[in-house]
Amino acid sequence: MDSELTKESIGKLYGKYLIPSLGGALATSVYSFVDTIAVGQACGPDGAAAIAVINPYFALMCFLGMLFGIGGSVLMSHAKGEGKPERADRLFTLSVLLLCITIAISWILSAIFLDEILIFSGADDALLPYARSYILPIVVSFPLFAINTFLAPVVRYDEKPQLVLKAVLIGGCFNIFGDWFLVFPMNLDMFGAGLATALGALIQTAILLSHFVFRHSSLKFRKSRDAASDARRILSTGFGASILDVAIAVLTIIINKQTMKYGGRDELAVLGVIMTISFLLQHLYAGAGQAVQPISSTNFGAGLRKRAWKSFTYLLWTSIAFGVLSTAVCALFPEAILSLFMDTTESVMRIGPHIVIIYALSFLLMAVNINIVFFLQSVLLAFPALLFSLSRGIAVSGLLLFILPLFMSMDGILWAMVLAEVITFIVAMPYTLYARKKQLYS
């Protein structure tokens, strides 16, 4: 109960955690964003389309980090609020162990079946060489991306949000410079962009690990007393947030395949751009949710439920503002966005603005839907959070992606994403208001 999280005003705490959290949440997605611009300008629509094929792989790496990072840090915050620091240490230790085991298995399998993964993600014979060239350095550095995503919420739990921001800014700036230098002066094209991303991730990992190497962390390694039970709680708590990345991977694969069926490589190139933006925005939105989690989790664990739910008000208004701004920018400047991301052709500019504008409508409610999930986790409503994540991210979206194109062709792919967000909001928002009333007044 001696933590600042239970004493300072919620508004002040939210402001303190929000900007660093946004930076940390963009850790991996910003690399894909910058790389799409570099390869789109260097290699044209085929380069942008290849990035769309690779995005599920990035989502897998984020999934592993968030699964154990969010799951562990939320439970650690509850333990802190309850005045049980040794339990927080045990949860941290177990989270690290589970992450290492899962990384090892995933790393080996992804290296062995790399071509099969790329083809399954939508690559055809023309796109496969582009995708393979870019992804080789990423595969070699696979653990770095998962570790970065894991460490961001853990370091924020340890009340060092500024270090997370510092890591992503330095790593991101290096990646931007590396993309320019390796792709253009060095003429390494797709491989250069992938190499710059890997090196940026290495720098970011080193900065985040310095928190532990130089003993600035309050966390210690302790053996878990009930590893099986703690592991189940970490997984169940973290899965609701990490399903965001599973959904990105699954939906990207479905969209890629449906686009190649009902459109072609030009349509995939445009969708590669807007999905890269969506990938970035979803993690930006999630950053607001992650900023609230240590605040709401610690206060909820300390029995200060009104303070915990007060943070949801700040989160809700932030989400609404993000959604409106994101949709407005994409809808007003689709041609400028396409020109930024690739060396456009006449055919791309003919079909592109229409695709960007419709897809961007999904951003309007996306932020609210994502952050409802993050908040529900922090007040120990993990099952509803998981249910909303699965329905929004995979079940509803996936079903609509197969049904609507039968009647609307390419437009059906775009409207499926918009309709999925509307359906999720209609269900999730009333439940959240009901949960608030039940926890505060029953």
First to last CA, the chain: 24
Is the predicted pLDDT of residue 89 greater than 70, yes or no?
yes
Gap between the Cα atoms of 272 and 56, Å rounded = 11
Phi, psi for 60 (deg, rounded to 5): -60, -45
Q: What is the pLDDT confidence band of residue 2, given thresholds at 50, 70 and 90?
A: very low
- Lowest mean pLDDT, pick from 156-160, 168-172, 179-183, 406-410: 156-160
What value does the mean pLDDT take over residues 247-256?
85
Phi, psi for 404 (deg, rounded to 5): -60, -40
Span 113-163, pLDDT tens digits: 999 999 888 888 888 999 899 999 999 999 998 998 898 888 877 778 788
Is the predicted pLDDT of residue 283 greater than 90, yes or no?
no
Residue 323: its pLDDT value, please?
96
Between the alpha carbon of residue 286 and those of residues 31, 119, 235, 322, 363, the distances in Å are 17, 29, 18, 11, 13
Query: Which token pair is 158?
Result: 């340890």
Query: Which token pair is 384?
Result: 């509803």
Is the predicted pLDDT of residue 419 greater than 90, yes or no?
yes
Residue 387: its pLDDT value, please?
86
Residue 81: its pLDDT value, please?
77
* Exposure string over 136-155, b if 16+ CB within 10 A, otherwise e: bbbbebbbbbbbbbbbbbbb
* More confident position, 160 or 329: 329
Q: Whose CA is closest to 275, among 41, 117, 40? A: 40
> What sign results for the dihedral spanned by CA atoms 403, 408, 412, 413?
positive
Q: What is the pLDDT confidence band of residue 395, given thresholds at 50, 70 and 90?
A: confident
Gap between the Cα atoms of 343 and 19, Å rounded = 33
Residue 298: its pLDDT value, please?
85
- Lowest mean pLDDT, pick from 31-35, 280-284, 334-338: 31-35
What is the average pLDDT score of the chain?
87
Q: What is the pLDDT confidence band of residue 380, given thresholds at 50, 70 and 90?
A: confident
342 DSSP assignment: S
* More confident position, 265 or 95: 95
What value does the mean pLDDT take over residues 55-64?
82
Span 193-238, pLDDT tens digits: 899 989 998 999 999 999 888 777 788 888 877 888 889 888 888 8
Residue 321: its pLDDT value, please?
96
Between the alpha carbon of residue 39 and those of residues 25, 184, 196, 287, 334, the distances in Å are 23, 10, 12, 27, 19
Gap between the Cα atoms of 72 and 230, Å rounded = 9
Q: Residue type at 270?
A: V
Q: What is the pLDDT confidence band of residue 1, given thresholds at 50, 70 and 90?
A: very low
Report the alpha-carbon angle 144-148-151, nearest 5: 135
Residue 28: its pLDDT value, please?
57
Query: Which token pair is 22?
Result: 């946004």
What value does the mean pLDDT take over residues 312-330?
95
Between the alpha carbon of residue 191 and those of residues 47, 139, 186, the distances in Å are 11, 12, 11
* H-only helix segments in 44-188: 45-81, 85-112, 114-120, 128-140, 142-157, 161-183
Is the predicted pLDDT of residue 240 greater than 80, yes or no?
no
Is the predicted pLDDT of residue 427 greater than 90, yes or no?
yes
Residue 159, by phi and psi: left (phi above 0), alpha (psi -120 to 50) or beta? left
